[in-house]
Structures are given as structure tokens and as C-alpha cells.
A and B are shown apart, each in its own frame.
Chain A
């Protein structure tokens, strides 16, 4: 009977709609910003790349929902009393996506590979705490076997460090510490990372990559915790235009935006309450003084210029998202940090600061007839420009003649590295949860010390801290060092960064944290 058959068809179609549809619905559509440069964890360096690579690979340690280090491929570990030798026991259930077990040999291979100068890994230096890592990476030691990473057996790995490093477990969550599949890399060479060849050990595996459009991942059914994954896969969309991304969010095409136009924050709060999230982020926005060049080698001039920056208005009024004013170098809430070491003038009112700054400028020999001339250099960007314009007008109140100069980001950093500036904008986002990561920016010989600040006392305290195993003493040494740099007004901290995300109410399990790391593993999506 045709009629009946038709009825059955409709009934089953109807049933299929109800019972089948939800099964493939949990795709996360994530606005990821830039195009990844690679899926190889040894070849990436950006936060947009970390979002992908950190979903498809997993290190000995991984991040929990609040980005705190937790057991990843390692199920347990012991640390020797002198803090130098870490022994990890790998999970028996840790497998590559092709079914092969993840072994300690994969980790040895990966650490040797990232340190091998031929790999040319940009971020290799993050694992320099490992014994002989720096010497191998710079070519001083040619034998990769000298690296302090050894496989005791298939599932036991021993890592030896140069010095006790309290943040080392945290550094192991970083993608520079991810394993790569030895058997695939050796068989396929550089092509191992092509979408058809790649083998991963994280919760998700990549299935499609169209440069300029998106990377798609799906559940890795060989992952030890696959049973608890609530999201079936992720589409990481490339879209650098923030306003276009916001429109796509409003049209329901994206579930999470990883940044948004600051000038839309007010509108978002009114029209999508609770969806735009700003939270303290371990990052510092600052102005560098060029210590190579008079008068910026004069502590009075630096202090006056720094004091005259009214930080209280920058976050709430100029940027509109309410960034915290920075009077110290290390962002608040970093692990292993001691008492805050703010500049000694932090508590003064702004008119008092301005008066004191004027006096300092006069003391340094500048007057109306002989005004201090400064060029403020920044990389081309609307927010940097707004801040620079405001700062220049604040400096005018001191009688300083300030000019603005901007260039695209590549040129900016190439030039300030050469010392071609008076005062320049810079920023730093934490790589790992430790004050050293920020204090190193002011250390004598490091390449990120753009202003060439040099204080033997500061450097000595950092060196002492690096040998100290007592965390309390170490924290106190670091905060003394910070106090010295802030006392010298080595550079002018301006504000501490905020992470800025928009999260659809459909997404649960997204916890704001100071590293802005949100692994898909912890998220759920309600339809």
C-alpha cells in the first residue's frame, strides 16, 4: 500500500530529525583571528596558533579549565630534592591518533628536534631551562644526545635542568614541549605535518585546512579522555577584521570571538549583556626609554615623562574597556611573585605628579626656551595611536615638545631593536607564569631589552634568583630587582592587558583566566 509506505517514510524522516540531528550538532565555530603558519608545534609562535595546536597535541602537562597546569600525557611525576631532575611516568593509555603508543622516545625526539638548530624553531628558547638546551640550539654542542631529556623506558621520561626552575611544570604545558610522532616524522620528513599525514596525540585531530579560511578539527577517538569530550569538532575561522567578526557573531555564525573592537564594548554590554568578557591578562603595555641616547639616560627625564602619563584615564576613557593602570613591571597575580614593587610615586594624585614632573624637567635643564624634544614611536594600530596622542598631550603640560611617529609592526620592532627611537611603545604577554618572564625584558643582554637598560645590581639579583631553590627567598630577590628597575624608571609601564572574548550563551565551561587559554576539551555547546 503506497499510502502506508509514504506514511512510514514521513514518520521515519520525522524521527530522524529528532534523534539524529543533535548527534552532529556540537561543532564549535571559533573566530580565531590570523591564519596559522603551521600545525607543527615546533614552528608556531602566536596565540591563534596555540588555540589550534593546543587542541590537537598534548604535552606531559596540560592546562585545566582555568589554565592551571595539570597532568597531561604524564600521569605522575617526581622532582628531585635539588629541583633539577624531573621523572615523568606516561599514561599507559596515551596513544597517537594512528593507534601507536605515545612513548618517552617521542618526547626525547621532540625535545631534540626543537633544539636542533636545523629545525629553526622560533620559540625554542622557552625550554632553555633544560640542561644543555641553549648550547645545542646555538650550535655549541653538536651532539643532540647531550640534551637533558632521557627515556628510562618506553613510558618513563627523565628531564634534567640547568638550574632549579619553579615554573618548569608550567613551561611543559607550552607547545614547545609537545611531543611529535617520531615514527611519522622520520618516515615523512617535513611533509609529516600535511593534513593527510599528520598524526597527533591531543583531544582533537585536524581534518581540513584551507589557508585564509579555516582549519577544521574533529574528535580524536584514540585520545585517552575522548569519552568526556562534549564538543565534536572545531572550526577555527581566519578573520582579522574585528567588526566583520562581530557581525558574524551577531548572525549566529560564530560561537566565540577571541577579540572584539574596543569601541563596541559599551554597545555589547547594553545589547548582549554578559557575553563580552574582559578579564585581567598576564600582559604589560609599556613605553621604552632609549637609554643609549641622551637625555633619556637621565633618570630625572625618564621619571618626569613616566609620572606625567595619567594612567587612570587610559583604560576607562581612552580605550573604553577599563584596563588596569600599571605602576609596576610584573602583572598582579603572577605565580612565585613577592610583594608588589610599584614606583614610589604611584600613590600621588595626578596634579602632584605633574608638579613633581615639572620640577624634574627643570632640574634636568629644560625650560620654555629650551624645551625637551621627544619623538614617540609606535606601531600602526588605532589603539596605540589613541594612547600615544593622549600621552603626547599629557607631556605638553610639562612643556615637552613631543612628536608622533608610527610605522608598521615589522619596521617598528626592527628599528627599535637597532635603537632608532627616543621613546617607543612595546608590549609583552607572559609565556609562563613567573615574574622572570617580565623582568628578563630589562636584563642587560637580552634581545628584548629594546631600551638597553643596564643595571648591574638588577642583573645580579636576577642571577641570584635563578640559583635560589627556596621559593620565598627567590620571590623576594625578584621583587627587589623589580624595585630597582622601577626606582630607575627604566621604562614606563602603562597598563596591564585584559583578555577580550565574546562567548555565546550557548557555550558553557569558558572560564576567564590570566593566560586566556581555553581548551575546547572543557567546553560544551547547547543547541
Chain B
């Protein structure tokens, strides 16, 4: 079905967007939320299960202390309040991704409430209010067999692996995000990016969107410009990259506007996001919370974190990312624009690590933002996964600083690193990339250049030192770019003095 869409700019002429973002984060605890099974990724199917996470009769759940600790630290880092007393609840539904026929979650008593996160988009700060963050467990993984699409519809039957069932999850839910207008898609993306950065800093999750340890559901509605009532929303599920978050918001805004323009009503439903086309398609009608028949989990006693514990955990929080950015910007002497670009490229921690390895902040920025960003872009991977480490960047820069590599040669080293040709030393060796600063070898090339361009040589003899550039260029060419340009210049001037 081809969807009618309204161009994005036109949407904003008639409608105001409201967004709500729900982010699920898998914690990186050793064990599951309610049992001692390993919570690691990638095991053999059904090899990380026990009677509790399989929901077998007679089994009893017990809460993982580390998961509660992580939930509290996340709450504090999001400027939230920590409940003095809260309970788990059963969310009842019939779907075989949970063998118990319910998911243990929290309902009206989340462990974290009333937080916020400030995000910056193009120099403007938006405060995203966080309504709640609650503890729950992940579900098993279903594979649909048969049918043509590999999707649930048309499948003949499904296979279930319960390794993931019971892994601790924190679901972080925003209040409706209003007043973002044309920046709505960017604010959504920036919020998820900022959240990811905080979680990474806390060390509570791998936050790998590509592996599903961080997943985002995007709620979106439009209301006629100036209206004070929110429109009907759709919920686009499992949007699994930062770029997709932005695209999902953009697409749904255009789609909603077309429906509303036609005088029709938005159907409250979940939507599936398609990475390949950047579009969404209808999922299921959205259940009311009532349909899950939540009730307090009788097998788990309430969680009542003492204020002492909460304060102790507050003491373990890392420097908030925004403050850290301000500090690093001052230390590194970057302009606002440079800093923004660095952050947007995901290069901040990489540059920090490169500087820690001894490179200057300017040099670190140069390599990460030019050569390596381009390579990451070409390969469609995150900068951190491009295949070059901060230590290697620092090592290359050290060779440049020491005069044994030029920038041009350094770029060839990075080429080698990106192609997996080995260590920095191995590549320099194998590709023969060391700078020639040996006077004997350079002297010959300089003599040849002078002989080849007598007119230029005369100019230099006549005192025009700027003319040396032409000879330096010839020497660089003759040495395959490996000559130490500074030394070449000195030799030319000496010989033509």
C-alpha cells in the first residue's frame, strides 16, 4: 500500500507534533532479574534457563540487588526521584515470548519518577521530562517459521528461545515532548543519544542499539496548530538506531498529517519501522493498560531503598555528560562549533582516550573528524567501530610529532589500519612509510631538482626564498611524499645560498 504523505515543511504549517519516547535498556548484570541464570548475549538456545525464568510450577523469583542498584543510579543520573517504596506487578498477556503468561514489571509504582534530561539541538536546549523509569524483565526470542515474510502474520508456527527471558530491563518513559516543531525528529534523536551517553557513563548497560540492548518506541501525535488537546498517537516499536529514531518521527509526522488533512482519524495502533525504506506499517491495535490486568506481584516483596543507600549510590555517579563536555571543551580549546561536531560524530570519548594516550587535542580531533569519520561514514558504522583505536591514533601522531611521519604518510598508515594490515609499526614497515630525512638521500634528490629547474634555482639565489616551494614539491614527488619537507627546504636554501 502506498501511503499518502505530506511534505515535512507543510506538516509544520498546520500541525504541532507531540512525542513520547519509551526506551528499554537491558542491564549488563551477570545474572537475570529474578534468577541466577547468566544474562549474557549469544548463548546456545535455551542454555541459560532455569525453573524460575521458564515459569515452572513451584519456582520463586528473587530480585537481583545489582539490578535495583543500577535502576537507582539511572534514576539519579536522570535527575529523578527514587521511590521510597514500590512493588513489582504482573502484566498479563498471552504470547509465548514469556512462558509464564505474564511479564514481571512495575505498574503504578515505578522505582524512578519525575526526572528530566536537557538535550541540545542546533544550539537550542530542550528539557525532556521523564515521567518514570521502571524495572522489568526482557522477553524470550521468537522466530516465526513458514509464511512468506518471516513475520508473525502468515507464519505456520514459532520457535522460542528463553535465554533472554528474564534479563533485567529498565524502561524509561518521557512525558509528552511538546513545542519542538520542526526540530521534533532531531530532539527525539538527541534525547536517545544523550540517554545512551549517560547509560554508557554509568556502565550499567552495553547500550548497543544494533544488538537490542537499547530499544526505542516512538509515540507520535499531531494536533492542529494552537490546539491545546493532544491528538491520537501511534507507537512505532523497536526503532533500533539513532538515525531511525529521527526518521521514524519524520515519517509518522508526514503520514499523520496526510490522514488528518483528508479529514480522517488516526487509528491508535502500534507501527513497525522498516530500516530499509524509513517507513512504518500497521502493527496491532494498541491495548489499553486495563487489558493487561496488572496486579501486584505476590511472589516478590516490595522494594524500599533506604535513603542512605540512595545517597551512597548518588556518590558513585560519574560526571554528568553535559558538564563533562564543558570541561573538556575548555581543556581542549575547541570552539563551540568544533565541540558540537565532535559530539555529533560520536568522537568525544574517542578523542578523550586519544588525548589520554598522549596526543594533543587538536591532532586527535583532526584524525577522528577527518580520515576516520569519513571511513566510518563510507562503511556505515559508528566511529567507535571503525577499526582504529585511540591508542593507535596517538601512536601515529607521536610519529608525526617526532618527524618520522608526515601528515600525508600518516594518512597512509590509517589506510593500512582500516584495511586491517596490522599494527602501526608493521604498516609503517611493510608500506615503507618512514620519512626520509637522511641528508645523503635527500641531497641527491635536491640536486636533481635544482638541475631540472635552473630558472627557479636562480630566483632563490637572488633571494626569493618563496620560490623554494617548486623545488620542495619536486623533491616530495621524487621521494614519493616521504621526504621531510622542513629538512628539504633547509637543504635547498643551504645549497643555493
Q: Do A and B bind each other?
A: no
